[in-house]
Structure 1
Amino acid sequence: MPARIRTAVDQRFPAELARLRRERGMSLRDLARRVHYSKSYLHDLEVGRIRPTCDVAGHLDDTLQANGTLTAMVAETPAVTTPDDDQRIAYAIAQPTRLDAATVRLLADVLAAQRRLDDAIAAPVMLPSAVPQWRTMQDLAARARGPHAPELQAIAAEWTQFVGWLHAEARNDAEAVRVLIEAADEADAVDSGPLAAQVENFRGYLERQRGNPRGIVRHFLAAYHTPGSSALQRVGDAVQAAHGYALLGDRAAAERLLGEASDLTEAAESESPPAAAYWLTPTFSRMGLGLAYLALGDKATAADNLRAGLQGLPDDQRDAEWTTEYRQALTVAAA
């Protein structure tokens, strides 16, 4: 049976299509003649009544000379569930008191697949489908009863964290903060140190995108000192807090944290990453080290660490949206 394909569309596509058309001085009728689509079809695309396929987005992008803007807003992704899976999930939603272990495992697998899609698809394209899934999970977790409910609630807490991350990555800053605050409460409710630490890590990432060194220090230090977090998480959090201190000009504090991170490395190398931070490896934190050393003015060491960290990424992560800042930093360090 061929894989089912789902089309994911950035919610900004309709407005961007209309903006580009007007910027090119075209009416709907003009564009319809050029692309050989009906005027009504184009109107429905611009008001969001229908969704474009990848082919349609590409054709419009070429015609409007959008340099890939429209193409990047549409992606085809394989469905992560089968029809039988969908029926099982629908039954759990309708009968939450009869939740079973197989459904909980299935929902964990769905979340894991969504998180890995984030390495290949831009966050704004993922959000329109991720948010409804999250809300469904929250509702199910609130109504679930029985021995499997606690495990489902932990999955729902991780889903909240994932949606907060997507908003941070998409630079929906206010919504990211709101959702991540909610994620912190849920992580505490399910008594998960790794989840709680990862929430603070994502808050630190957002502050780094905002260019706020004190925010970087505040949230990465909170992650570093969160009870129950893993050694791999703590290494990365210490390194990124050191980056914040370096940006503030506090070299002593930065070097102290880099030393603490080095001391933790042996323990980190012997453990597997928590599911909430599956991407962590002993070499992953070298990208954060690169940022810290670059801020400390040591370009050669920064370049070595950034290069090693980027080269150590799995193939499916190397072009992920979140790697952009590290690739840009490597360009600066290597100059």
Structure 2
Amino acid sequence: MRDDDFADLARRALHDSGYSIKAAARAINYDPAYLSRVLNGKQQPSPKLARSLDELLKTGGALAGTLLDVDERSRMTRSVANPSRLDAGTVDALAGILAAYRRLDDTVRPQSVLPATLTQMNEVIHLLKGARGPHRDRLAEVASEFLQFGGWMLAQERQDAKAVHLLNDAVELADEVGNGTLAAQALNFKGYIARQQGRPHGVARWYSAAAYTPGAHPAQRLGDMLQAAAGMAESGERDDALRLVESAERLTAAAAELPPPDTAYWLTPEFNRLNMGLANLGLARYADAVDHITAGLAGLPDELRDAPWTWEHRDALKRAVAAR
């Protein structure tokens, strides 16, 4: 994580929230000149400053999570200089940065997180090319998830062709190391793109592929079956859609017993109520769609309720209410 990546993220997040540098400095009781140097990449941010900005912006510690401590910086420098001697600490640090980026996506506009995401993603891919030894596969998993996340961010910005390219690369890397949860999530995002493009056949295809990917988590299978069912229903394949919904319902208990996978931490039982709502909307069971989507939105954690990706569910709810 470079200081100018933090600067870019923090500067954009402040702008999104309507803060000038002076106003932000006043709000967190910092010297405006110091904050300006940090936000322009001229001075390293302190963990205390990052935490203060997180509190101001209500980003739940995500900005602070993008910073490396002294040991992590040292490890990262050594690994970049000599990728063949990659160590576990470097991989853990990169995974932590990625987790923080994903949390930022829950509270900050996609276009504000995208530039730093793609920069960091490219650095991880470059490191992977020279990596050797026992930690290489774990780095490949982090790289796959970075590609997946980059694809998701581009998809939210409707840069669909670029998004699909990254998601295809993410699937290949996930398959290389045998990580079914990562592969399934990348395929899931391809289904999301098809839905944004209004292609129900693509929705059915990619969500079905995600649902039946070996190694996928039960919560992934459940959600993907439901979204595939929505695509099937909208494609006129009602009987197949109903069978998928029945299969998904049989997974409900198993999915609820396990914590969601780290790569899809949002896949709680409440979130999958949203997916059940989409399936029922596709099947023209409007009252059920209203019930599930309403419950799903109400069950989201506070930090997710206004996330940009919830907009399509709110739109689906409006359509279900109007058709009920």
TMscore range, shorter length = 0.7 to 0.9
- 8 Å contact from structure 1 (residues 6, 78) kept in 2: no
1:295-314 equivalences under 5 Å are 295-314=282-301
Give 1:127 deviation, angstroms.
Answer: 1.4
Secondary structure of 2:214's counterpart equals coil
Q: Give, in whole Å, the separation in 1 of the partners of 2:303 and 2:196.
A: 23
1:32-47 equivalences under 5 Å are none
Output one character per residue of 1:218-274: Cα deviation in whole Å (capped at 9) or x when no partner. Answer: 101111111111111000000000000111222211111100000111111111222
1:176-215 equivalences under 5 Å are 176-215=163-202
Aligned residue among 56, 78, 82 for 2:68? 82
Give 1:95 deviation, angstroms.
Answer: 2.1
Q: Give, in whole Å, the separation in 2 of the partners of 1:274 and 1:293.
A: 25
1:1-335 equivalences under 5 Å are 6-8=7-9, 78-79=63-64, 80-82=66-68, 84=70, 85-335=72-322
Gaps of 5+ in 1: 14-50, 53-76
Q: Give, in whole Å, the separation in 2 of the partners of 1:250 and 1:146.
A: 49
Output one character per residue of 1:279-312: Cα deviation in whole Å (capped at 9) or x when no partner. Answer: 1112211111111212222221111100111111
Quick check: which has more Rg, 1 or 2? 1
- 8 Å contact from structure 2 (residues 140, 174) kept in 1: no
Give 1:78 deviation, angstroms.
Answer: 2.5
Q: Give, in whole Å, the separation in 2 of the partners of 1:82 and 1:219.
A: 37
The count of corresponding residues between Structure 1 and Structure 2 is: 271
Q: Give, in whole Å, the separation in 2 of the partners of 1:268 and 1:83.
A: 36
Amino acid at match of 2:67: T
Secondary structure of 1:333's counterpart equals helix
- 8 Å contact from structure 2 (residues 68, 93) kept in 1: no
Q: Give, in whole Å, the separation in 1 of the partners of 2:282 and 2:310.
A: 18
Q: Give, in whole Å, the separation in 2 of the partners of 1:292 and 1:150.
A: 36
Gaps of 5+ in 2: 16-38, 41-61
Amino acid at match of 1:78: L
Question: Could you say which residue in structure 2 is the equivalent of 1:66?
Answer: none
- 8 Å contact from structure 2 (residues 228, 244) kept in 1: yes
Give 1:105 deviation, angstroms.
Answer: 1.2
Amino acid at match of 2:215: G
Q: Give, in whole Å, the separation in 2 of the partners of 1:287 and 1:142.
A: 39
Give 1:167 deviation, angstroms.
Answer: 0.9
Secondary structure of 1:7's counterpart equals helix
Q: Give, in whole Å, the separation in 1 of the partners of 2:130 and 2:286.
A: 53
Output one character per residue of 1:183-215: Cα deviation in whole Å (capped at 9) or x when no partner. Answer: 111111111111111111000000000000000
Q: Give, in whole Å, the separation in 2 of the partners of 1:91 and 1:311.
A: 46
Q: TM-score normalized by structure 1? A: 0.76
Greater fraction helix: 2
The farther-off stretch of 186-195 and 294-303 is 294-303
Give 1:164 deviation, angstroms.
Answer: 0.9
Q: Identity across aligned pairs (percent)?
A: 45
Q: 1:300 to 1:139 in 2, by over 3 A?
A: same
Q: Give, in whole Å, the separation in 2 of the partners of 1:186 and 1:215.
A: 22
Secondary structure of 2:258's counterpart equals coil
Output one character per residue of 1:70-102: Cα deviation in whole Å (capped at 9) or x when no partner. Answer: xxxxxxx72511352334322221122232222
Q: TM-score normalized by structure 2? A: 0.79
4+ runs of 1 displaced by more than 6 Å? none
